């Protein structure tokens, strides 16, 4: 098998067919240009209804292989699936449930693992399949695609321990930020490849979706803090705050100048970002991690399009166009919004394209910029 031309397998909580686009979708599209590519999604059951899982629109298309945009996809739906029980006393039960779930893995996943030359495992829940991949196909390269620290995204303790125990099986460990290095249990396999962006974002000519006045936008539900909007909307009644795909945490927002919008296709969010007076990354104070300075996709998109961004201090860093605040602190939120509005649009930052990202993920040794410690 040729590692560079597939077959490739991507294991992710996302579904390739979902309208919400994450880094795994864009990487998968680039893999499909190289060779046979398959995308396995899981952690989907009646419990998913409670969390308003964005994959619910695919409920009737689960448990069958479907080719979508050149990628073979499979969404594994079960009656229930294991979750973080959040009780130390129940960790034994939690571990038993996760192990049973892996044992029930569908035959299609096992067949795809055996047929693959390279397997990309997304950080988080997919960690539970690392051991299965190494057992069924010891010849395959297994590459871990880190997006977040496991504790930052509140993974079950079983997943954290399983990663510690199986990381030695990984052939590559891609970090989107050097700030994640110290969290990795197999640092010798680590290399750095930042998230990418589609260069076409800057040429998107879609008209503004806004009416008169000033407008701000937030996209996505990760670590969503509704208190930001409760404070900012009251402080800036002349600004309309558009919250796209904020999830359950955004459902209760009811200020007259806050618009809560359903999740939409990534392409449809672009004009909301491009034409906003400023963007918002409303991360929760007790969960926001310093590595988000480098990895926050929404902040990258705002910066790339030259839209000033308001975000917690810890993720503002020294990036141009970012204005930090202390979560929950009305005066600092007000000051950050005022500075963003005064700053206005700017030239924008640079970013790798997704093909460049994929090249580095598959062959980090060919690129000097993938070294964790570039100066030796």
Catalytic residues: 148
State the Cα–Cα distance between residues 214 and 283, nearest whole angstrom: 22
Beta sheet of 172-175, edge-to-edge order: 66-68, 71-77, 37-44, 8-12, 118-122, 141-145, 172-175, 190-192
* Torsions phi, psi for 243 (to 5 deg): -110, 110
Give the relative orientation of helices 330-343 and 227-235 as an angle to the nearest 10 degrees: 60
Cβ pair 322, 343 in contact under 8 A: no
Q: Burial, 259: exposed, middle or buried (Cβ in 10 Å; 0-12, 13-18, 19+)?
A: middle
SS3 132: helix
Please give the Cα distance from 184 to 122 (Å, whole number).
14
Three-state SS string over 284-308 comes to CCCCCCCCHHHHCHHHHHHHHCCCC
- Residue 8 main-chain phi, psi, to 5 deg: -110, 150
Distances (CA, A) of 171 to 13, 286, 323: 21, 33, 38
Q: For helices 23-32 and 354-362, what crossing angle results, to 10°?
A: 80
């Amino acid at each position: 098998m040729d590692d560079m031309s597939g077959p490739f397998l991507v294991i992710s909580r996302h579904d390739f067919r979902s309208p919400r686009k994450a880094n795994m979708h864009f990487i998968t599209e680039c893999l499909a240009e190289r060779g046979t590519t398959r995308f396995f999604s899981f952690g989907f059951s009646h419990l998913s209804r409670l969390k308003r899982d964005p994959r619910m629109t695919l409920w009737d298309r689960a448990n069958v292989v479907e080719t979508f945009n050149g990628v073979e996809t499979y969404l594994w739906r079960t009656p229930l699936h294991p979750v973080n029980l959040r009780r130390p006393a129940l960790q034994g039960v939690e571990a038993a449930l996760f192990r049973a779930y892996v044992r029930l893995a569908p035959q299609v996943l096992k067949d795809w693992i055996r047929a693959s030359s390279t397997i990309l495992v997304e950080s988080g829940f997919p960690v539970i399949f690392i051991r299965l991949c190494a057992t069924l196909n010891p010849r395959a390269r297994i590459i871990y695609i880190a997006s977040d620290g496991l504790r930052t995204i509140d993974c079950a303790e079983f997943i954290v321990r399983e990663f510690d125990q199986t990381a030695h099986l990984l052939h590559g460990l891609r970090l989107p930020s050097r700030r994640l290095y110290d969290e990795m249990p197999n640092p010798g396999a680590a290399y750095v490849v930042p998230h990418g962006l589609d260069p076409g974002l800057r040429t998107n000519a879609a008209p503004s979706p806004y009416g008169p006045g000033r407008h701000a936008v937030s996209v996505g539900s990760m670590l969503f803090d509704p208190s930001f909007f409760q404070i900012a909307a009251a402080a800036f009644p002349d600004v309309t705050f558009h919250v796209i795909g904020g999830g359950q945490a955004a459902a209760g927002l009811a200020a007259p100048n806050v618009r809560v919008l359903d999740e939409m296709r990534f392409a449809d969010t672009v004009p909301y970002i491009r034409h906003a007076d400023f963007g918002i990354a409303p991360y929760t104070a007790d969960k926001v991690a310093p590595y988000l300075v480098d990895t926050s996709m929404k902040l990258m998109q705002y910066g790339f399009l030259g839209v000033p961004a308001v975000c917690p201090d810890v993720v503002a860093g020294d990036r141009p166009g970012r204005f930090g605040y202390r979560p929950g602190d009305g005066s600092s939120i007000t000051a950050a919004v005022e500075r963003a509005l005064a700053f206005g649009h700017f030239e924008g930052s640079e970013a790798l394209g997704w093909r460049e990202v994929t090249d580095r993920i598959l062959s980090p040794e060919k690129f000097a910029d993938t070294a964790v410690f570039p100066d030796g």
